[in-house]
């Protein structure tokens, strides 16, 4: 098949063999040749020897999402050969290690099978066992370079960066391995294939990065100084990154740390540490995943009621329970929004990609202090651990943390009368806050038990209710402060589609989603439009839902709700929190652990439009 | 009903400390505990100790969990910020608060239920981190606030009010703390104010986790005949193994301390703890021997009190972290951040 | 005011003084004179010395709910005298201890103040301090006996029961104290007052009991053998009662226990123990309250996904966080229904009073095994700890536990092929279950991580989804199995109201509620009907909501939703789980910690009906 | 991918035990752990021990938490029911399961992260209840499954792969267990199969909580130079203090055991554990001395192994409860219940 800068390549290996770095190298090479790429890693929840896949989509059109098809399979794992073989789209290619004969009965005449004696060549070249295993991976990268017309110079450059001067020997060895594959394919196959990469310049000004790294950067730049965590996939790399960056950029001139990262004994302790630090006045956060959020429920209820700022990252994985720790899902939406017993509700932010994970993390810290409450950054494994191509991150020097209504020692000195922690002086539901050690006049007792607006212990019905009602007002105030949705109505969605003059004229059909579904929905809209189906778009970025969301729902009479969980949690939140008429809402659900593919959305929409229901 | 603030009558007659404060300035709200509750005596000792040490009240962070014992931080130092964590989770709050601001004095008050049942894990790990704080377990062998169930510190053979006898081995705060590497391990009795005040002062000055297990009888549910945590039983069997004197930098050490079974230990702030052995076969600086000694006496049903183990040189949380001086509360916004972000991103291009 | 068998009396004292038993004695006396009574205890979250109130409503009409008015105040607590004095309804009475002069400036000419020198008389009669405190309480009971025309013989009888033969001395002492008050009032006041009790026979066949006791009985009779708990108000008395009953009725002939109660180290351990026992095959349960449910979230998600039977009691108290442990609320409705991260949903039962707490507890154990899942009995402090008059409990000898699809050793022997734990042989979403130690053929590995329908570990998208989809089917099956709502349409609501011939003709207005709101709503409906406002009634008893609830919502065009929380959680569940049009639903909320009063419901309905909105 | 079942090839050549089973009948699914992981050796030892004890496979309940170690119950006794609890909560599952049915053999497998960090509280309280079970901590000093962070058992000075050095005092499973009243406290090494098999057999026969802390190196993340939990380091410093022999009722005790530093302890089922001291200054039945001994050697950096403390007479969970014989699984519906309910209600009328 003729596919230039527009195909999906998938590598099947076993984990713990070093294939991860080989695949990263491959992806980086394509990126550096100017072609937009998407990379998805499907790895097992163990350390060594189980099947793992890496999917790379080369997409000149910039559709950074799973297409749902595989055009080129690198089948390095005997254990999964059959299924990998079957997955290749008709007209596609399959590369395998021809050092050993492959299973004969697996024959398809609609795909081209490419054999390369990787092991054989590598074993001749390298002696040491571990080296052989590693080099076999680099060898298939070389083979692909030949077949797909990748620039070996780019590959070498990347290798040099990774190993640096000191490990020049490794660079040389790796290049030798790459050459093996490269020259073999050049020699034995008609290179390049019609399916290949062409140099272009569409990646300028972009970076390839994962969302846990950008979230870590966001936290550091927002001025977080205390982090507490308990390791859990897929959130672990967030704290690793934060520590790494702070070690380099958050030490004073004597090399002393201006941050403190606590590896807690469990998630209950992690959130407790964050609450303690937040109570003391530091910007503190904890990254975790579903099971951790479950364990934090009691403390989250405490944080809501005592009004302590805190930032929690839920890098969602597949639930329930331990579920599939290395697969992605959006099934903690309600858990996060309503975590904790009693009447509680929490601000949530929903980044769509690593770039936004950076921005929204900064907002999360500001909102947490502005509204004096726990704030959730609801991300997922797909955003957090996969490598995404996004525009380079920018920082505005003028940024100053929003500390909210925080009383200084001077302000406290001048305070007329007694300080009341939970009053509502400005009628926005937001009280004034004081920190320990600042001034005696600011002293009060923080308690999760019933308290009056002065912060004193109470069991009085009216005093209790007064505080609860103010908390509700505070949440309402937040509605207009949290980030607005991204809305694209047809006339300004760019490219194709019927134009409508002047300001957006509501069209009949809309689609609403959040988080990592964004890219899939965008591509689906494009394809649908090409087919003549126009859909307005609203991507929600925060809870509580603001007026713009209300309006979007109001102005459309069919609204597809796309989300990655079984129980339509996002749809349920729209039903509870907006005035929408349920009959408008059509759920498009995806929850098998793989990132949702654009084709899934497309097909669901089309089926509904001609059968009146989603298959 | 709402929490009662004591009328701030000023007893001019009272002596003032170096800051010019009288003991009254270290008090808090009116106690709502039962008349005669051991916890109230501990509150009094805390007030006394802070006053004697000339601590600026608002430079203290008061923390507790949930329980009758955990209510007490509301009853002292009303000029200090205080916090009631959720049940059993004060150690994590304390760790985070201390991480954020090492410049304050940290006082954690807990109960045997709060620290040894639901909170045991956090208690243990706060010890391991050697968080610089005073940690009091107001130990009455029962859950007071929930009306008298046995706690994990109930001794084998101790009889509940209802008559049930406890058969599970107790968690011994001092033994456990010792086995977890605690750097300041003490036990006292709410009825022995003199010893308690000294230990609290020493604990407040110790840099690291200072744990004091204070037997504090519950008059409502565990002060009867047959209870091993009653006033009567504790008075009869408590056995001071070490006599502790605390000497502030200002006072100089009186001579007679030099000799005999007494050992002076200098603290980071220049004050000194002088330990005088009452039992010669106990060495409060030898963990291995301390284990044996404490276990023997436990088996003998004796309640050994005093500063039982002290390790002054260990690094605390911040020393481990090599934290810059001062607090981490005010994120310092810098002006070179845009450039730094650029620099960082080169590797992702 | 003339009020015979129809008034509310409130006693204000300090806790830890023994007034509790005096008030119980008072209530019992009235009950035994044949007059229906309601008792509510408003006690502080401490052990001694803080204000506490006891409210008794004498209600010949059988309205066992708070009316919202107080007609007779026994003001024994100086600390709260002013507020107690103010609370008395115009025309009502206030009794105080005249041993000391009362605050002069508190004067109301619209109430009658009755002074009785209780302390003085008691101190003359009794020497010991503790005795004096206790006897003062009995003395006011005596005083009330005189004023309200209570039968001293009945009081003496009750005392004899409580103390028994062995403590005859105490009976005598108590009677002496009672006599003091009795004769004093007889002598100094015109007795009985127009507000008084008249002997009748309306309590026959009834008992006075709290819902934690009946739930404990339900658990024992359902065959629960393992209970695990961590003490927390207001659930503690449930396990105390269970232990007490089992000690007497669940030992073998050698006095050995056929049950085991574990006092866990915390709620995480308590639910873990229940899961362990349920996995092993025993009927196990844990009673707790909001904070406990929060801590159990992770394990609840585990129980849902591994399909282990378990019964959880949430005796709700006021949240969020520690909240007000001794006040009531219904604010864990959503927490219970959706506890745990990931896509989870749980069966919930909502008893309305202690009688139903008994029945639904038995159902809970059957449903837990039938559907192999955690089941919540969602009760509250009002039901669990207050004394309610309910019809005596009955037991059907023919009851046999529903163990669900449980394979015996023989069945396993004959099993054709390999046992698959998570298959769906009957297409109802319910798989077959095996227990450890029964037969090797039944062996499988229970895991909260991803598993196939055979129970084997999986990370495969399709295998994972297959199990999740079946779990959804299982929940749908439950919809028609769980207890149905109690529905009363006007024509059969008895008494008053316009009759409609034949089968229920849907009327315009309906009211829907759950749990302890029932009594208040019933009285409100009665009063409203008297005023000409007819409301059909639907009391939901279980989640998932069954078809009858759907129909009720469909057939009414205005539906008041009454619940005791701030965020309209029940209404939100109706929006998510039924097809109801949101515009029909009118929230009536009450969440200050006191049990909702009928007057609150009445007023809300009336305001809405003539202002189009609830005040 | 789905969990792999081993092909049940039947090696007729293998010896059979009294039940006629070969060792193969005690195996489980194929391990997915790293080649060389210590945990796999422990699995092998468990299989061997169960086979030698003639245990009916389906009469075993296998339980674990979450972690590489906690995966292993899937790799032995495929004819037994098994359960993976949530992380750190296996002790509560085990307690409830044992409460419900005392007739089975209970084997709990955990890791140092699972038991000493998130699960520390449950671990401690299961010990206090003396739940009748074998409890293995497969101790590698790191969180394997989450890729090598230090766990609470990491020794001071131990170096991580990345180079970071641990400075927090470790939680010593044996010291902690001892301080909590554990009735069977042992330590072993995955590399010493003979000792391990014997200890597992003894632990399975002990009535009560038998804790074995097994040093089990993680080849992926903690087997390097500088790690104190590596194969090399453990081989060098491990120090058998007690030699244990386990003798089943069927065999009779050979004479030479009567004398010398060896002490036979008879177990409830008639089998015997014979302890032969290697170190004379250690007495495995004297808790106070055991404390001192273990702490001294810990300070010396020695890894003392063997059955370090044994208390055979203590009552287990069911003895405390005085539970009727048999399991509580089948609620016996009785026929006099209606009458009983009537009787109960008289007091509420
Ligand atoms: C999560 C949770 N579980 C249970 C409770 C109920 N509770 C309050 S205090 C307490 C025990 C207190 O015992 P202890 O710490 O010894 O304090 P004491 O009252 O004896 O001083 C319990 C179980 C709670 N508040 N939170
Ligand atoms: C609640 C929760 N938090 C975190 C995790 C992630 N997690 C899985 S295993 C593990 C640690 C395992 O360490 P250990 O018990 O020592 O087992 P090992 O892998 O070293 O054998 C962690 C933190 C989890 N599964 N659940
Ligand atoms: S119940 Fe016990 S612990 Fe609580 S206040 Fe009263 S005496 Fe103190
Ligand atoms: S990571 Fe470590 S513990 Fe886990 S399987 Fe590999 S070697 Fe074993
Ligand atoms: Mg206590
Ligand atoms: Mg480990």
Distances, alpha carbon B31 to alpha carbons B70, C18, C233, D308, in Å? 12, 21, 21, 48
What average pLDDT is seen over chain C? 95
User: What does the alpha-carbon distance between residue A120 and residue A132 come to, in Å, rounded to a whole number?
Assistant: 10
**Residue C246, H or E segment:** helix C236-249
Mean pLDDT of all residues in D246-271:
69
Beta-carbon-side half-sphere exposure of residue A272 (alpha carbons within 13 Å) = 31
Q: What is the arithmetic mean of pLDDT over C51-56?
A: 97
d(C-alpha A514, C-alpha A520), whole Å: 11
Q: Do B175 and D172 touch (CB under 8 A)?
A: no
**Which ligand sits nearest to residue B223's alpha carbon?**
3
Q: Do A230 and D120 touch (CB under 8 A)?
A: no
Is residue C507 very low, low, confident or very high in pLDDT (cuts 50, 70, 90)?
Answer: low
pLDDT value at residue C106: 79
> D278-296: per-residue pLDDT in tens?
777 788 999 999 999 999 9
pLDDT of residue D252: 59
* C309, C313, C319, C321: CA torsion to nearest 10: -60
Interchain contact C322–B (C-beta under 8 A)? yes
Over residues C339-362, the mean pLDDT reads 98
Environment class of D240 (CB within 10 Å of its CB; exposed 0-12, middle 13-18, buried 19+): middle
Cβ-Cβ pairs closer than 8 A, A with C, add up to: 216
Q: How far apart are CA C14 and CA B346, in angstroms?
A: 70
B147 with C232: Cβ contact below 8 A = no
Per-residue pLDDT band for A496 (boundaries 50, 70, 90) equals very low
Q: DSSP string of A332-373?
A: -HHHHHH-SSSS---EEE--SSHHHHHHHHHHHHHHHHHHTS
Residue C609: Cβ within 10 Å count: 14
Alpha helix ranges (H) inside B190-286:
193-205, 231-237
8 Å CB contact between A505 and A582: no
Question: Quick one: pLDDT at residue D10?
Answer: 57
Q: Which residues contact A555 (CB under 8 A, 6 or more apart)?
A: A506, A510
Q: Which is more confident, A427 or B273? A: A427
The residue-averaged pLDDT of C322-351 equals 98
Nearest chain D alpha carbon to A294: D86
Residue A499 reports pLDDT greater than 50? no
Going by C-alpha positions, the residue among C451, C478, C226 that lies closest to residue C337 is C478
What are the start-end ranges of the E strands in A172-291? 195-196, 206-209, 226-229, 260-263, 284-288
Element (H, E) at A295: helix A290-306
| pLDDT single digits (tens) C406-449 | 999 999 999 988 899 999 999 999 999 999 999 999 999 999 99
pLDDT band at B8 (very low <50, low <70, confident <90, very high): low
CA distance D254 to D247: 10
Asked if the Cβ–Cβ distance from A236 to D146 is below 8 Å, we say: yes
Give whole-number Cα distances, D4 to A541, C190, C457, C464, C612, in Å. 42, 89, 9, 16, 65
Element (H, E) at B30: none
If you ran DSSP here, which 8-state letter would residue D190 be given?
Answer: T
Question: Candidates D30, D31, D36, D37: which one to mutate for ligand 4, based on the most atoms within 8 Å of Cβ?
Answer: D37
The C-alpha atoms of residue C389 and residue A140 are separated, in whole angstroms, by 80
Cα–Cα distance between D144 and D39 in angstroms, integer? 11
Q: How confident is the model at residue B245 (pLDDT cuts 50, 70, 90)?
A: confident
From CA D73, how far away is CA D65, in angstroms rounded?
10
Q: What is the mean pLDDT of chain A?
A: 95
Neighbours of A557 (CB within 10 A): 14
Tell me the pairing of strands D133-139 and D209-215.
parallel
State which H helix or E strand residue C489 sits in: none
Instruction: Tell me the average pLDDT across A20-35.
Output: 96
Mean pLDDT across chain D, nearest whole number?
91
What is d(CA C468, CA C479) in angstroms, rounded to the nearest whole number? Answer: 17
pLDDT at D259: 43
Residue D32 CA: which ligand is closest?
Answer: 4
Residue D9: pLDDT band with limits 50, 70, 90: low
Q: Where are the alpha helices (DSSP H) in C64-107?
A: 81-87
**pLDDT exceeds 90 at position B276:** no
What are D135-175's pLDDT values in tens digits?
A: 999 999 999 999 999 999 999 999 998 889 999 999 999 99
The DSSP result for A362-431, as a single string, is HHHHHHHHHHTSEEEEEEEHHHHHS-EEEEPP---TT------SB--HHHHHT--S---TT--TTSSS--
pLDDT-derived band of residue B11, with 50, 70 and 90 as boundaries?
A: low
Where does ligand 2 bind, in terms of residues with CB under 6 Å?
A 230-232, 267, 291-292, 295, 322; D 66-69, 87, 111-114, 138, 140, 142-146, 151
Q: Tens digit of pLDDT for each residue in C189-240?
A: 999 999 999 999 999 999 999 999 999 999 999 999 999 999 999 999 999 9
Task: Give the mutation candidate from B83, B102, B114 for the A interface (greatest A CB count, under 10 A).
Answer: B83
Whole-Å CA distances, A558 to A508, A522, A530, A550, A553: 6, 18, 20, 14, 9
**Tokens representing residue C219 in the block:** 């658990």
How far apart (Å, rounded) are the C-alpha atoms in residues A303 and A297?
A: 10
Is the per-residue pLDDT at D60 higher than 50? yes
Measured between CB atoms, which of B1, B58, B124 is closest to A440?
B58
For the full predicted model, state whether its pTM sits above 0.90.
yes
C284 vs D92: CA distance, rounded Å: 13
What number is the average pLDDT over the span A331-352? 98
Residue in the block written with tokens 């201006």 = A258
DSSP assignment string, D299-326: HTT-EEEEEEEE--SS--HHHHHTBPSS
Q: What is the pLDDT of residue A615?
A: 67
Tell me the ligand closest to C229's alpha carbon: 1
Tokens of D325: 């014989």
ipTM entry? 0.96
Q: Are B78 and B105 in contact (CB under 8 A)?
A: no
Give the SS3 label for residue B77: coil
The DSSP result for A145-189, as a single string, is: HHHHT--HHHHHHHHHHHHTGGGHHHHHHHHHHHHHHHHHHHHHS
pLDDT at D2: 37
Q: What pLDDT sits at residue A490?
A: 79
Q: Residue D273 has what pLDDT?
A: 84
In the prediction, which pLDDT does B269 show? 85
Helices (H) and strands (E) in chain A, counts: 19, 23
**Nearest chain B Cα distance for residue A377, angstroms:** 20
Helices (H) and strands (E) in chain C, counts: 19, 23
Are residues B86 and C291, on separate chains, in Cβ contact within 8 Å? yes
- Counting residues of chain C whose pLDDT is more than 70, the rounded percentage is 97
Q: In which residue are the tokens 């050992």 written?
A: B263
The partner residues of B108 in beta bridges, in order of sequence, read B63, B135
**Between C350 and D9, the higher pLDDT residue:** C350
pLDDT at B35 over 90: yes
> What pLDDT digit, counting tens, does each position of A147-157 carry?
999 999 999 99
User: Does a cis peptide bond (omega within 30 degrees of 0) precede residue C320?
Assistant: yes
pLDDT exceeds 70 at position C566: yes
Q: Which residues of B touch C236 (CB under 8 A)?
A: 146-147
CB D295 within 8 A of CB D175: yes
| A230 and chain B in contact, CB less than 8 A | no
Q: What is the pLDDT of residues C110-128, one digit of tens each?
A: 999 999 999 999 999 999 9
Distance in angstroms (rounded) separating the CA atoms of residues C54 and C388: 13
Tell me, what's the pLDDT at D282? Answer: 82
The residue that leads in pLDDT, B212 or D240, is B212
The mean pLDDT value for D93-97 works out to 98
Half-sphere CA count of C454, side-chain side, radius 13 A: 11
Testing ligand 2's pocket by substitution, the residue of D68, D87, D121, D138 carrying the most ligand atoms inside 8 A of its CB is D87
Residue D270 has a pLDDT of 84
Say whether pLDDT at D3 is over 90: no
């Amino acid at each position: 098949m003729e596919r230039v800068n527009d195909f999906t390549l998938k590598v099947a290996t076993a984990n713990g063999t070093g294939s991860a770095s080989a695949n990263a190298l491959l992806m980086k090479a394509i990126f550096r040749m100017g072609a937009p790429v998407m990379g998805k890693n499907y790895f097992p929840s163990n350390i060594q020897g189980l099947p793992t896949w890496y999917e790379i989509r080369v997409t000149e059109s910039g559709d950074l999402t799973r297409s749902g098809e595989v055009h080129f399979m690198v089948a390095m794992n005997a254990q999964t050969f059959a299924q990998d073989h079957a997955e290749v789209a008709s007209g596609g290619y399959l590369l395998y290690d021809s050092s050993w004969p492959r299973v004969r009965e697996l024959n398809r005449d609609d795909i081209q099978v490419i054999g390369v004696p990787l092991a054989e060549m590598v074993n001749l070249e390298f002696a040491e066992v571990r080296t052989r295993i590693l080099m076999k991976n680099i060898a298939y990268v070389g083979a692909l370079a030949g077949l797909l017309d990748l620039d070996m110079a780019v590959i070498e450059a990347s290798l040099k960066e990774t190993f640096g001067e000191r490990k020049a020997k490794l660079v040389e060895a790796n290049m030798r391995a790459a050459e093996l594959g490269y020259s073999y394919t050049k020699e034995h196959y008609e290179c390049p294939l019609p399916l290949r990469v062409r140099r272009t310049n569409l990646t300028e000004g972009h970076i390839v990065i994962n969302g846990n790294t950008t979230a870590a950067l966001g936290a550091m730049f927002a001025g977080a100084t205390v982090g507490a965590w308990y390791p859990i996939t897929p959130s672990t790399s967030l704290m690793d990154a934060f520590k790494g960056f702070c070690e380099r950029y958050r030490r004073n001139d004597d090399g002393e740390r201006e941050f403190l990262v606590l590896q807690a004994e469990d998630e209950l302790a992690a959130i407790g540490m964050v609450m303690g630090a937040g109570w003391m006045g530091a910007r503190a956060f904890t990254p975790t995943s579903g099971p951790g959020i479950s364990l934090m429920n009691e403390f989250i209820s405490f944080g809501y009621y005592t009004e302590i700022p805190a930032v929690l990252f839920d890098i969602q994985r597949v639930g329930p329970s331990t579920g599939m720790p290395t697969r992605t899902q959006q099934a903690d939406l309600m858990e996060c929004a309503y975590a904790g017993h009693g009447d509680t509700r929490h601000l949530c932010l929903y980044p769509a990609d690593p770039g936004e994970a950076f921005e929204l993390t900064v907002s999360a810290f500001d909102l947490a202090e502005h509204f004096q409450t726990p704030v959730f950054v609801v991300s997922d494994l797909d955003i957090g651990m996969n490598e995404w191509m996004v525009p380079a991150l920018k920082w505005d020097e003028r940024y100053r943390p929003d500390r909210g209504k925080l009383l200084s020692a001077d302000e406290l000195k001048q305070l007329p009368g007694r300080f009341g922690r939970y009053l509502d002086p400005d009628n926005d539901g937001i009280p004034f806050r004081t920190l320990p050690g600042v001034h005696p006049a600011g002293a009060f007792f923080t308690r999760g038990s019933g308290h009056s607006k002065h912060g004193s212990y109470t069991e009085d019905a009216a005093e209790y209710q007064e505080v609860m009602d103010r908390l509700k007002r505070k949440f309402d105030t937040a509605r207009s402060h949290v980030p607005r949705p991204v809305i694209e109505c047809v006339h300004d969605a760019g490219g194709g589609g019927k134009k409508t003059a002047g300001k957006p004229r509501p069209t009949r059909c809309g689609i609403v989603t959040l988080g990592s579904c964004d890219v899939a929905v965008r591509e689906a809209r494009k394809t649908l439009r090409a087919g003549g189906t126009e859909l307005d778009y609203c991507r929600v970025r925060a809870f509580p839902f603001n007026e713009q969301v209300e309006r979007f729902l109001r102005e459309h009479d069919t609204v597809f709700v796309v989300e990655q969980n079984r129980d339509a949690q996002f749809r349920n939140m729209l039903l509870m929190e907006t005035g929408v008429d349920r009959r408008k809402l059509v759920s498009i659900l995806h929850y098998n652990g793989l990132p949702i593919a654009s084709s899934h959305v497309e097909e669901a929409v089309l089926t509904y439009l001609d059968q009146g229901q989603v298959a | 009903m709402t929490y009662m603030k004591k009328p701030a009558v000023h007893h001019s007659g009272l002596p003032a400390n170096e800051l010019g404060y009288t003991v009254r300035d270290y008090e808090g709200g009116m106690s709502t505990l039962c008349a005669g509750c051991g916890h109230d005596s501990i509150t009094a000792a805390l007030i006394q100790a802070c006053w004697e040490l000339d601590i600026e009240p608002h430079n203290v962070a008061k923390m507790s969990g949930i329980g009758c014992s955990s209510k007490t931080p509301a009853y002292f130092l009303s000029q200090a910020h205080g916090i009631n964590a959720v049940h059993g989770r004060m150690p994590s709050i304390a760790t985070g608060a201390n991480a954020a601001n090492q410049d304050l004095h940290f006082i954690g008050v807990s109960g045997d239920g709060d620290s040894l049942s639901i909170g045991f894990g956090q208690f243990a790990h706060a010890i391991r981190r050697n968080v610089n704080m005073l940690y009091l377990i107001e130990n009455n062998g029962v859950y007071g606030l929930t009306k008298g169930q046995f706690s994990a510190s109930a001794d084998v053979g101790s009889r509940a009010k209802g008559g049930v006898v406890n058969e599970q081995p107790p968690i011994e705060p001092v033994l456990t703390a010792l086995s977890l590497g605690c750097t300041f391990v003490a036990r006292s009795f709410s009825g022995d104010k003199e010893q308690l005040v000294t230990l609290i002062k020493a604990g407040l000055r110790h840099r690291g986790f200072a744990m004091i297990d204070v037997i504090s009888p519950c008059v409502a549910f565990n002060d009867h005949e047959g209870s091993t945590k009653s006033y009567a039983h504790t008075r009869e069997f408590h056995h001071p193994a070490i006599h502790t004197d605390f000497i502030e930098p200002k006072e100089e050490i009186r001579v007679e301390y030099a000799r005999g079974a007494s050992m002076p230990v200098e603290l980071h702030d220049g004050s000194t703890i002088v330990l005088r052995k009452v039992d010669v076969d106990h060495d409060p600086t030898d963990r291995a021997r301390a284990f044996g000694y404490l276990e023997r006496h436990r088996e003998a049903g004796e309640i050994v009190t005093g500063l039982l183990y002290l390790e002054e040189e260990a690094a605390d949380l911040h020393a481990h972290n090599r934290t810059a001086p001062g607090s981490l509360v005010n994120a310092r916004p810098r002006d070179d951040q845009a450039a730094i972000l650029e620099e960082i991103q080169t590797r992702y291009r």
